[in-house]
Structure 1
Amino acid sequence: MPIYAIGDVHGHLGLLKAAHDRITADMDRHGTGTIVHLGDLVDRGPDSRGVVEFLRRGIHDGRDWVVLKGNHDRMFTRFMADPWDHDPGLRREYSWLHPRLGGATTLASYGIANASDRPVLKVHVEAVEKVAKDDLVFLTNCPTWHRQGEILFVHAGIRPGIPIEEQTEDDLVWIRSPFLEDSRDYGPLIVHGHTAIDAPTHYGNRVNIDSSAAYGGPLTAIAIEGRDVFVLSDTGRIPLRP
């Protein structure tokens, strides 16, 4: 049976539903399988609330879906727990509400306006009132990795040379260097997002499917059989090779 993965959604519910439609069409031809979502459900796009609710309800209803935790999902939940918290993966000059991060757009989807332009404590008080507790519990409890067959799924990547069971959450949701520069065979093929690129790319030891939905690009969905990877288009499978 194939296994499927969807890249960084960043609040684009329409793109997410369209990716699921492409997967459903592929399942009709090739058989059903688990769908792994690589995290970064929230921030930057217009409907983070809708994305989280869609996935949370799908899993509650018994869908064979896995949703991994991304760094943006973690920043959201950490802000909700403590508005002064600073995620260790984030540069000191930024906060989650900085316009470059997109936290204000996530809060706007819950009915909290102009979060980047108002006192943090007032924004937090309103957010505690309006953000669904079920959404926060769901995001907090998302796993940081998923292995199935010959594939290891993570949001950002792994620290080379360290077994997956010993990886830190900080690395799994934030790492770029040295992971992106490492060409070694990890054993399983690593499928990840986090680092936005123009199109899904197979590097031999890893596959990056963050095709920049956060910045106006498409949302990539792939099918995997063994170690063979296929990008799903509206007309079917397109092989993705190193």
Structure 2
Amino acid sequence: MAFKVGSSTAVAVGIDYYWARKIAFDTASLQNKGDGDGWGWNISASHLNGPWSFGASFRSHAEADISGSTTAGGLTFGGTRTTLDIPWRAQIGVRYQVNPELAVEADVTRTGWSSFDILRISHNHPGVPINPIVSENHWKDVNAYRLGATYQLTSDTELRFGYSFDKGAMPDAYFSARTADADRNLFSIGIGRQLGDGLAIEAGYMYVKFKDRSLRSTTLPTTDPNGTLAYNGNYKTTVHLFGAGLSKRF
């Protein structure tokens, strides 16, 4: 819900629902699967001052309770449980309308990845003793920096350009190949076009280049391979994202 405060300022509050449709966290001998959900909240504000626009938002930490099953030795047992931590996120941004066609924007986002600390998967299978799985992650809170621009090509067509730098949250001491996180650069282009009668189409493309990462640990793995020589190697990742949408205003 959004509320106008004065002629140039608005605040909004909302509720977030998270649905983890599928969680897969396997080990060398166990296959764990599950799903679950959780709730959070958000608050934001915006202010207009001539060609300048200012905004800030905060999205709370949330926990999704996951339940599922474990497969071991060809047999599947229910009663597997864990809690998935979803980090908080704070963002501030500013936009400047250079002229009627061109606008530029910059923002900074801080994500509380330190809540992704220790993942513990318990197995409550009567008569089937399976030790809990404990994965130590100890991720760090990190910043992301974003620049964007829009250009009104015609009265009906807007071009969009963006660049972001996202800092990796995973330290070498707890590196895991399950996600292989790293610093990354993101480049995006997009277009929006009004079709008339309240209809509009949107399309965009983003290219994500992760910084190459190498792990050369000398730590022997125990029950938790994170940060150990079990994950030694070179990691390279690139991602291509495409999106399209159709909207209708009434």
- Give the structure-2-normalised TM-score: 0.23
Greater helix fraction, Structure 1 or Structure 2 = 1
- Give the structure-1-normalised TM-score: 0.23
Whichever of the two has the greater Rg, that structure is 2
Q: Which has the higher contact order (CA 8 A, sep 6+)?
A: 1
Greater strand fraction, Structure 1 or Structure 2 = 2
